[in-house]
Amino acid sequence: MRPCCFLLGSWRLPPYSCRLTFHKHFQLVRNCTSSNCLYRRAFVASTVAKQVNPEEDIDPSEQTTSFRVTPDEVGQRVDKLLALRFPQQSRTYFEKLIEKRLVRLNGSNAVTKGFRTRLGDEVEVTFLVSPEFHFEPQNIPLNILYEDEHILVINKASNMVVHPAPGNWNNTLVNALAYHLGVHSIENSHENMRPWIVHRLDKGTSGVLVTAKTDLAQRNLMEAFKSRTVQKSYIAVCYGNPMTRLHVLSGNNIIDLPIGRSHSNRLKMEVVPLEKGGKEAITVVEGVAFNEQRLCVVSLKLLTGRTHQIRVHLRHCASYILGDELYGLEHMNEKYKHLTTRPLLHSYKLAFPHPITGEWQEFRAPLPADLKAAVNYIRK
């Protein structure tokens, strides 16, 4: 059997046969304390990611990031620039990404490592989990709505990323959970870390989020999400009344449009027909408040859990969440920047059967200050 750290110093994940050996290693030696095993750290991180509810797509913005070249960065080699931008990774790592055509420049993946940048170039990077990726428990305050021995329900802050990802390896919910649950050494915590995440909220989205503390709770919660037993309710502040377009499209308040990855921008999702790879996505919309400036407050219920589902569906109905830089209107975000600096989207209610007792549970998160102020602005 190969030692668990046989990949030390290598950027590659092992072939499938080696991964099986590695999994057996974990089963046989559960208390491995090899702190230098970088692949072990990557295994822990990737295991957490793979446990996410299969009904809920992985947010591509957590795997891909983009930026524009600044005056100070003009003329630099792409591989060197990326290593400076993301110091957690080596220059060799980015050379490998370029070889795999995972680095795009102004929309083109025909990039070489020696290519030199120009002012305003848009660089897009799709990261791969590698042995260089690891994270540690952090003492980050959590707004806990409920906790027992099986589940932990929090009111997620709008600036918190759920899971460590490129550009956000620290100060995430997983880092906070590790500390809260007493996991003080990432090297011997893989069996404890696996449960936790069962669904996600985007970084800018605040509100109710449930996590599991045991394997059984995790399995049952994931099944509840998959079977669509979980009720997910949101509040959003938008420019443009979606109800007007909805009545034209469907004659009711249900948006039933499949969603898939955008071919023009890997960071975005869009409405894509089922026959072209789109996945079923259903959102129920109710108007709450409107004003003469075409601002509105809407309540939304998700019957599915696709990446960016609410933001994509609202945009398709000519309604744009204020503060949303990816799907919103830039000039409206600028006009109403006094109201918010993030997408005004909040998960205000989450209801589901308790994963162990089966008792129906309902949790609510009060509106955060910025969203409450925006709602009052529209209603005044």
236-273: per-residue pLDDT in tens? 999 999 998 887 666 689 999 999 988 887 778 999 99
Q: How far apart are CA 239 and CA 314, in angstroms?
A: 10
CA dihedral 286, 57, 165, 47 (to 10 degrees): 130
pLDDT of residue 303: 95
* pLDDT-based confidence at residue 66 (cuts at 50, 70, 90): confident
Same domain, 38 and 166: yes
Of residues 216 and 90, the one with the higher pLDDT is: 216
129, 45 Cβ separation under 8 angstroms? yes
Query: Could you tell me if residue 355 is inside a domain?
Result: yes
Q: Is the pLDDT of residue 299 over 80?
A: yes
Asked if 92 and 221 sit in the same domain, the reply is no
| Residue 205 burial by Cβ neighbours in a 10 Å radius (0-12, 13-18, 19+) | buried
Please state the domain count of the chain.
3
pLDDT band at 126 (very low <50, low <70, confident <90, very high): confident
pLDDT of the residue at 380: 86
Strand ranges inside the chain, DSSP E: 64-68, 103-105, 122-126, 144-147, 151-156, 206-212, 231-239, 254-256, 259-261, 269-271, 282-290, 295-302, 320-321, 345-353, 360-364
Same domain, 113 and 203: no
Check whether 326 has a pLDDT greater than 50. yes
Q: Residue 106 is part of which domain span?
A: 64-126
pLDDT reported for residue 178:
87
On whether both 44 and 189 belong to a single domain, the answer is: yes
Cα 121 from Cα 111, distance rounded (Å): 12
Whole-number Å distance between alpha carbons of 43 and 190: 8
Q: pTM score, two decimals?
A: 0.71
**Would you place residue 184 in the very low, low, confident or very high pLDDT band (cuts 50, 70, 90)?**
low
Average pLDDT over residues 150-173: 87
Task: Please tell me the predicted confidence (pLDDT) of residue 249.
Answer: 67
Q: Is 370 designated active site?
A: no
Do residues 187 and 326 share a domain? no
Whether pLDDT at 186 is above 90: no
Same structural domain for residues 24 and 146? yes
d(CA 172, CA 202): 12
Q: What is the mean pLDDT of the chain?
A: 81
Instruction: Read off the CATH number of the domain in which 104 is found.
Output: 3.10.290.10
Same domain, 247 and 160: no
167 within 8 A of 86, measured Cβ to Cβ: yes
Asked if the model's pLDDT at residue 193 lies above 50, the reply is: no
**Which band of pLDDT confidence, cut at 50, 70 and 90, is reported for residue 133?**
low
Q: What is the pLDDT of residue 149?
A: 95
Selected residue with higher pLDDT from 354 and 86: 354
Q: How far apart are CA 202 and CA 62, in angstroms?
A: 9
Instruction: Work out the burial of residue 70: count CB atoms within 10 Å of its CB; fewer than 13 is exposed, 13-18 middle, 19 or more buried.
Output: exposed
Residue 31: pLDDT above 60?
no
Which residue among 57, 79, 202, 324 is the active-site one?
Answer: 202
Residues 213 and 157 both lie in one domain: yes
